[in-house]
């Protein structure tokens, strides 16, 4: 099992999550996504459902935070801190692939990480959103725009960085090159980095 920690940020509908999962399989390392929420939930004492709900709210909703926070920090900050702690813990255990949750930022100073961002042309993302989430009240186009906006706001709130700014990543890649090819490319890069010691 490798020792490189790969973090993957992605645009909604880019297929980045599937590429991340495939990469974890190729590297034979654990894959963390919703699992992080579950692990974090235990630490904070909040339920997994509550955390998911909190993440979907606007992160700057003052009244919402005031209402739910019985402690010093707003509740969404408490959740972020708990998740960041879990991200650092799993990274210490060995090689893995972590999707989203500002993991590139949380692990920005940790050596032995590869920070990746997956994007795709808008029309491809809308098509993928229609395949995977079609039939809802929102049009696929609106869904993609809303999700991108939420991810950018979440990232900006907790990191004070711009989401999708290439200087935050070792590699950004357009998944329209082919999801399997991208997973192979990343696996090859990780292996090259590890063989160099």
Question: Binding residues for a second copy, per CB under 8 A?
Answer: 117, 119, 121, 164, 166-167, 169-174, 176-178, 181, 184-185, 188-189, 192-193, 196
Smallest separation, CB 141 to a second copy (Å)? 17
CA atoms lying within 13 Å on the CB side of residue 41: 15
Cβ 31 to a second copy, closest distance in Å?
22
Task: Pull the structure tokens for residue 103.
Answer: 């993991």
Minimal distance, residue 113 CB to a second copy, in Å: 12
Helix axis angle, 75-93 to 34-44, nearest 10°? 120
**Nearest distance from C-beta of residue 118 to a second copy, angstroms:** 10
Contacts of 116 (CB under 8 A, 6+ apart): 6, 7, 8, 9, 169, 170, 171, 172, 173, 186
- Cβ proximity of 7 and 114 under 8 Å: yes
Tell me the closest approach of the beta carbon of residue 146 to a second copy, in angstroms: 18
The nearer residue to a second copy, 90 or 171, going by C-beta atoms, is 171
* Closer residue to a second copy (CB): 9 or 74: 9
Nearer to a second copy, 74 or 95 (CB): 95
Which of residues 156 and 193 has its CB atom nearest to a second copy in the complex?
193
Closest CA to 192 of 170, 173, 174: 170
State the first-to-last Cα distance of the chain, in angstroms, to the nearest integer. 14
Tell me how far, at minimum, the Cβ of 30 lies from a second copy, in Å: 23
C-beta closer to a second copy: residue 119 or 128: 119
Q: Which is nearer to a second copy, 136 or 178 (CB)?
A: 178
Q: Alpha-carbon distance 125 to 155, whole Å?
A: 20
CA distance 50 to 58: 14
Cβ pair 144, 13 in contact under 8 A = yes
């Amino acid at each position: 099992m490798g020792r490189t920690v790969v973090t993957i940020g992605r645009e909604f509908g880019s297929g980045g999550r599937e590429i991340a999962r495939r990469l974890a399989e190729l590297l034979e390392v654990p894959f963390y996504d919703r699992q992080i929420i579950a692990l974090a939930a235990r630490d904070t004492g909040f339920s997994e459902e509550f955390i998911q709900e909190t993440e979907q709210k606007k992160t700057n909703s003052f009244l919402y935070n005031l209402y739910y926070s019985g402690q010093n920090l707003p509740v969404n900050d408490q959740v972020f801190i708990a998740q960041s702690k879990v991200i650092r813990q799993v990274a210490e255990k060995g090689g893995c692939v972590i999707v989203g949750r500002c993991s590139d930022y949380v692990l920005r100073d940790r050596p032995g990480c590869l920070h990746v961002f997956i994007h795709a042309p808008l029309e491809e993302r809308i098509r993928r959103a229609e395949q995977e989430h079609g039939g809802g009240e929102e049009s696929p186009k609106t869904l993609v725009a809303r999700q991108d906006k939420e991810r950018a706001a979440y990232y900006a709130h907790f990191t004070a960085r711009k989401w999708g700014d290439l200087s935050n990543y070792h590699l950004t890649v357009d998944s329209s090159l082919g999801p399997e090819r991208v997973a192979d490319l990343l696996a090859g890069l990780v292996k090259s980095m590890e063989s160099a010691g």
